[in-house]
Structure 1
Amino acid sequence: MKANKLTGKSNNNYLPDVLGDGFTKLTLSFDDDYEGEVVATLIRRKSLTKTSKAILYIHGFNDYFFQEEMSKEFNNQGYSFYALDLRKYGRSHLNHQKLNNVRSLIEYDEEIDLALQIIKSERNKQVILMGHSTGGLIVTNYAGNHLNSDLFHGIICNSPFYEFNLNVLERKIGVPVLSYLSKYFPNKLISSGFSKLYGYSLHNDKYGEWNYSLYWKPHDIPNVNLSFISAIYKAQKNIQNNLVIDVPTLVLYSSQSIYEKKWSDKFNEGDAVLNVNHIKYYANKIRGNVTSCEIENGMHDLILSKKLVRENVYKKMFEWTNVHFK
């Protein structure tokens, strides 16, 4: 598959972004969906040196792009850095939309396709797709569904959401039943199941070191539609059934999962959202040039871990990129 058919548009007029410091943004517009008007946002921070290499980063659930340090680390390695705030997240959320609402992860192909076309038009010849958590699930599926593309050349996954962090009965019976029911009740609300304690471990108004918008990434996570559960489930099944990827792929995950019910410093030393054994297992089932990398004491978003830990994350990522992208 060569260049993808575009279904959206942009005016190619970057504007200053809320992050400042060299970050700019571009609004991408698409045809209306089941909620009405749809937009996504492409954020950019160009490398200070001449380069033809770029990253396109995709955030996770209950999330948006705010990781300035990560973008600058890639800039320092000679990459122009781009990120998407997907439709109905962060900068792209419109008043008539329910946060995070999606019925299939393939809906995101529109903004990924258009972003990759824009990145290529800006003279980038080597492009790595990078995703965190649900974003890792999205980019893995995208790569498997777009073999032989000339728009991206590698994948990096930061704690990808390859499986629900539930017991075996809930995973094998509960989630499939909910996915089936979504055909008839797509807008039925259900708890996301995620604890606000993870947010507490990140934000500097609680126990973390990061400052970000609690409107765009709230501690109290909104309920999700049944259709969202179905979208995740179907994408996970695609990965779990020996998905083929034809570009080099790096999957990073923590050395341990955390299951505390009350606040504890343990939240700073492990993945408080996903089961890391699931990530490792399903990463090893993907067919292709896949490198798995365990990060000692990494948090769920590995690049938001404590300083020494995230420095190790960058070290591992750039060792890998230096092998595959000269």
Structure 2
Amino acid sequence: MSTSSPDILGDDWVQRTLTLLPDTGLPAPEATLVHERGAGSRRRAVLYVHGFTDYFFQADHARAWTEAGYDFYALDLRDYGRSIRPGRTPNFVTDLAVYDEEVGLALGEIRAAGAQEVVLLGHSTGGLIASLYASDHPGAIDALVLNSPWFDLNSSWVNRVITTRVLDAVGPLLPRLRVSTLGEPYGRSLHTSTGGEWEYDLTWKPIEDVPVYAAWLRAVRRGHARVARGLDVQVPVLVCTSARSGHPARPTAADLAGADCVLDVRHIWQRAPQLGVDVTVRRFEGGLHDLALSVAAVRASYEHSVFAWLAERLPSS
């Protein structure tokens, strides 16, 4: 790992580069671990894993974790956000298991800094990645918290079944075939330039023309299938979602103000029991897809619920 350097979030934050194994024929990938200065002083820590076409910028949410007694770390996965490198395709993998490398390295750094208990926190696609990692690496973490994890395709039966079978055949042959585009309404509702509350880098978390590639979607659907068959997460799991979903392509103003307009929350509720033997599901009225970006009252309710659950489920200090 390289030495620490200042982070874009300001003087209180630093970032470190995680050097990853090279890809054949491509520039070597890197991931980025972000944390507040002085992290390593607490016995408990949390590692945050972001979603698709996303990166860590939610400093207010991180501050809530530190106030609750946790060192907060965030991972910009390879080819996302701070980890985008020339010559590589942003947001692209052909197997979600490749992310095990940087998640494992980050957890190793956190343990080495002194954390005795570590929570893995995943949002959306990051929630799927975190769930698979926790199942495949028993003993690596002490609790799993999921913020609107992506457990199924929010689409028609044809796309969920028939198109998935087509992707299995097409993905390996035409990995970068563009099969879809990420919907714009949710992103527009978030960013300050289009009337939202949040300021973030639109080159790293774009609103428009975000491609979805065949091999990447195939990898995600294979992850969904694993969840459907049942995982073996051996630590306590908290699954948090909005109380309802809005239409992903044609949401109403009320949907954009207080519903998940990316995923069908019913899919999450149905799949959550498949994660392990100790799973709690919490639903939040007025929650957005990223509960940490919901209106202040919902954010506070979400954070309070997470910290209260952790206080009950993790061993006392």
TM-score (structure 1 length as normaliser): 0.92
- Matched residue type, 1:73: A
> 1:167 is matched with which residue: 148, 156, 160?
156
**What is the CA-CA distance between 1:43 and the residue it aligns to?**
0.3
2:22 to 25, 32, 39: 32
Partner deviation per Cα, 1:195-214 (whole Å, 9 max, x = no partner) = 11101111111121110000
Aligned to 1:100: 91
Mind listing any 5+ residue stretches in structure 2 that lack a counterpart? none
Q: Per-residue displacement from partner, 1:33-68 (whole Å, max 9, x unpaired)?
A: 143221000001257894110000000001000000
Separation in structure 2 between the aligned mates of residue 292 and residue 21 of structure 1, nearest angstrom: 36
Is the 8 Å Cα contact of residues 51 and 124 (structure 1) preserved in structure 2? yes
Contact 1:104–1:231 (CA<8 Å) still a contact in 2? yes
The aligned residue for residue 324 of structure 1 is: 313
Q: Which region of structure 1 is more displaced relative to structure 2, 37-46 or 85-94?
A: 37-46
2:99 is paired with a residue whose SS is helix
C-alpha contact (below 8 Å) 2:243/2:284 kept by paired residues: yes
1:141 to 123, 127, 132: 132
Q: Distance in 1 between matches of 2:220 and 2:87?
A: 23
User: Any gaps of 5 or more consecutive residues in structure 1?
Assistant: 1-9
CA distance in 2, matches of 1:48, 1:134: 26
Distance change (3 Å), C-alpha of 1:136 and 1:103:
same
Q: Where does residue 295 of structure 1 map in the other structure?
A: 284
| Alignment size in residue pairs | 313
Is contact 1:179–1:233 with CA below 8 Å preserved after alignment?
Answer: no
How big is the shift at 1:264?
2.1
Aligned-partner SS, 2:29: strand
Cα separation, 2, equivalents of 1:110 and 1:228: 18
* % same residue: 35
Distance 2:36 2:58 in 1: 12
1:219 alignment partner, one of 199, 207, 216: 207
Match of 2:273 among 249, 270, 284: 284
Alignment-derived partner of residue 225 in structure 2 = 237
Q: Which moved more, 1:92-101 or 1:173-182?
A: 173-182
Runs of at least 4 residues of structure 1 off by over 4 A?
A: 46-50
1:187 aligns with 2:191: no
Q: Quote the RMSD (CA, aligned, Å).
A: 1.5
Asked if 1 retains the 8 angstrom alpha-carbon contact of 2:152 and 2:267, the reply is yes
Once structures 1 and 2 are overlaid, which stretch shifts more, 102-111 or 265-274?
265-274
Counterpart contact for 2:188–2:196, Cα < 8 Å: yes
Task: Sort the Cα spacing of 1:43 and 1:277 in 2 relative to 1 into closer, same or farther, 3 A.
Answer: same
Question: Residue 48 and residue 110 in structure 1: after superposition, are their counterparts in 2 closer, same or farther (change >3 A)?
Answer: closer
Bigger drift between 172-181 and 46-55 goes to 46-55
Which amino acid in 1 is paired with 2:5?
A: L
Please list the CA deviations of residues 10-32 of structure 1 after superposition, one character each: whole Å capped at 9, or x if unmatched.
13x21110001411100011122
Code of the aligned partner of 1:216: W
2:54 match: 63
Measured in 1, the distance between the counterparts of 2:37 and 2:141 equals 18
Question: 1:81-108 CA distances to partner (integer Å, 9 max, x unpaired)?
Answer: 0000000000000121111010101010
Closer, same or farther in 2 for the Cα pair 1:89/1:265, shift >3 Å?
A: same
What SS does structure 2 have at the residue aligned with 1:161? coil
SS of the counterpart of 2:89?
Answer: coil
Which residue is equivalent to 1:304? Answer: 293
Q: Provide the residue aligned with 2:185 in structure 1.
A: 197
Q: Do structure 1's residue 314 and structure 2's residue 314 form an aligned pair?
A: no
Task: State the one-letter code of the partner of 1:255.
Answer: A
Change (3 A) 1:119 1:291: same
TM-score under structure 2 length normalisation: 0.95
Specify which of 52, 68, 76 is matched with residue 43 of structure 2. 52
